[in-house]
Chains A and B, each alone.
Chain A
């Protein structure tokens, strides 16, 4: 469903994403892990067609995102990490606007809006301007907007940020069901628990390159990690040994 071929992104001389190739088949929840600044968000934004790759290409369901952007994007729902939405639209108006961007209108859209607002407990807020929403509510609204046109794949950057535990649990269930029905989810996350619990496959990115990929057990096997937790494996692969020095940084306490 999602295929990245030799994807590279340079910012001036800085290599943000370095020749990444991977394939995410239909019905898979794929997690992209990595330390801050590893290139996860850049990769996701290239998949969503927001950034142009310096080299390589992104295929969504066979369509190149930058050659046939419209047909590729029809399949996609994108959830960014920062929930910027139009402050002066109401929640319902925003969802109607997004549905319109995907060419959808009419009663079916109205029913879908009501359904999504209900699921995310935003019904009582639907006629209120977004400027009055909290961070978490905006995040829920954006997630609803990514689902409104019933996409085939969802690309999501840090899905759990800003969500309360109930909404986080709901989102996990939605993603699992979505994948269970043949959808594809490609997500970046810092939360190793989330990745371990939810993802069928993971890729660990470091300095713009994939340093490990496969199922969690595949990655353990590849790196002879035995029964090590994903956290230990992550730290080993991303050079997190300095964490040991944390105690020294924190000092002896107040």
Chain B
């Protein structure tokens, strides 16, 4: 029998992608495209600009100058490879074992090699596109600084593509082995925890090492040691090093075919070995993946604890809140993100504590207040990222069950209320702790403490409302993975709006804080002037408007949902 071509097997995927684009265009997606291009362009320009300056500066440094860029590229590509292996493992689980099209493909007379290559391609594309996009401004900066010319782009592609293929093959193979040991649903749980735990561990480790100390000249005992370290390859057996060598060789006009040959031959060998492993283990793994994770749950704990605490609520709201909490803690892909969150909070507080404000010279009153005030913006940004992860997807996750909610007499306001408070309350507690502890570490005055806590409360209420609203305005009802929802277009618009809100609120309050700091600086009596009250009222009004108006919009949008 003639086998269908690989392109044919992949046809539904690219046709779906094309159709989505057409639908977007039909819905007037030009605005979306413009925003995406602007944000993406600004990000690229930022990365390019920073790297360009660093590389330019390094080129003018004697001895170390020519060595560091190569080392730096090796490290960047190494970090890409680590990210890629993790993301490929997680993506491979969906594309090889849980995807909806598998029943059709596995039951059709498609041979194992085509199935493997099609799914490997799908996994590679899904998990690598972000890294590939990120590599563009980085490599462009190298190309421009070293005057690589147009052909450099082609050469860079030749070096980077096998570097993307290798982690994809490894990721798929790891998943294949894991699924053969555990059932797929359990593997997904396991992987989420391992992946996020590992990511958290790496961040924590990196932070505790205090890389900023390396930048201090007194940190180097011997310049020669450092040069020797730089000359040697970081990890000679890793493809990231080969790719860095290939790219730097081209840029220094010392073209060596060995790294490229190593990259491509290893990629080919890995694909072959991966395919053989797939032939040996896939059928058995796929069967195991169909087994449901059998788990008996009494669920009484939530009812006795949270249920009793919420006893004062009307039954519909109470049941809704209980349901949301249970779903969150029973979905490993969701709650495991808390691990990363905890690590980020620790790193955040660690950074504040590590600030050299309280070292040696007397504490600068001005700097402490400045840091405390700017910290509001940073904490607000952290809360916005958390809201994007946990509150933004809330409405999308109801998608498949919306038939039940819409056909029952549940008031949509109650639904919105439940979603809002289930997300807001933990966020508010976190926001207040983050602000309170950082201010305590900074030893700020009571004025700044109260101002910060009040501002953080107002901002949190508004950020939650914005997250819920943008999640409702740009719902992703068809998605199977909650973790992918925040990276959608709506998530981007939410983050941009929140940044604008943070800028507006902090901009308003900055006048009041300036008056306060100025009075203290001049040694004048510190009091709250009518002008300051005016700024406070305006900031409060901004937060209130950013809470109420979006929630009303969300309600209206929800009323117009059709299923």
Contact = CB atoms under 8 A, between A and B. Distances in A.
Interface of A: 45, 48-52, 69-74, 76, 78, 80, 84-86, 88-90, 92-93, 96-105, 127-129, 131-132, 145, 155
Given A84-B401, A86-B401, A104-B315, A50 B408 contact: no
29 contacts: A48-B406, A48-B407, A50-B402, A50-B407, A69-B409, A73-B409, A74-B409, A85-B401, A85-B404, A86-B401, A88-B330, A88-B331, A89-B327, A90-B296, A97-B320, A99-B319, A100-B318, A101-B320, A101-B405, A101-B409, A103-B314, A104-B315, A127-B296, A127-B297, A127-B299, A128-B294, A129-B297, A132-B295, A155-B407
A105 B402 CA distance: 22
B411 interface: yes
B292 interface: yes
Contacts of A93: 299, 323, 326
A50 B406 contact: yes
Contact of A71 (B292, B296, B409): B409
Given A50-B402, A76-B407, A78-B404, 6 more contacts: A48-B403, A49-B407, A89-B323, A101-B410, A103-B316, A127-B296
A78 B316 contact: no
Contacts of B322: 97
Contact of A128 (B297, B315, B327, B409): B297
Report the 9 A-B pairs with minimum CB-CB distance, sorted nearest first: A100-B319, A78-B407, A84-B400, A48-B407, A73-B409, A88-B330, A101-B408, A132-B292, A70-B409
Contacts of B406: 48-50
Nearest to B329: A88
Interface residues of B, number: 36
Main secondary structure of the interface of A (DSSP, over half): mixed
A131 B480 CA distance: 13
Given A78-B403, A80-B403, A97 B295 contact: no
Contact of B295 (A85, A92, A103, A129): A129
Interface string B306-328: 00000000111011101100110
Contacts of A89: 323, 326-327
Nearest to A105: B315
Contacts of A76: 407
A131 B292 contact: yes
B216 interface: no
A48 B323 CA distance: 23
Contact of A132 (B294, B314, B410): B294
A237 to B, nearest CB: 29
Nearest to B323: A97
Nearest to B400: A84
A254 to B, nearest CB: 16
Contacts of A100: 315-316, 318-320
B14 interface: no
Contact of A103 (B294, B299, B315): B315
Contacts of B299: 90, 92-93, 127
B487 interface: no
B315 A127 contact: no
A155 B316 CA distance: 22
A52 B562 contact: yes
B296 A88 contact: no
Interface string B264-305: 000000000000000000000000000011111111000000
Contacts of B318: 100
Nearest to A46: B562
A76 to B, nearest CB: 7
A159 to B, nearest CB: 15
B37 to A, nearest CB: 29
B295 A86 contact: no
B407 to A, nearest CB: 4
Contacts of B293: 129, 131-132
Nearest to B317: A100
Nearest to B399: A84
A97 B314 CA distance: 13
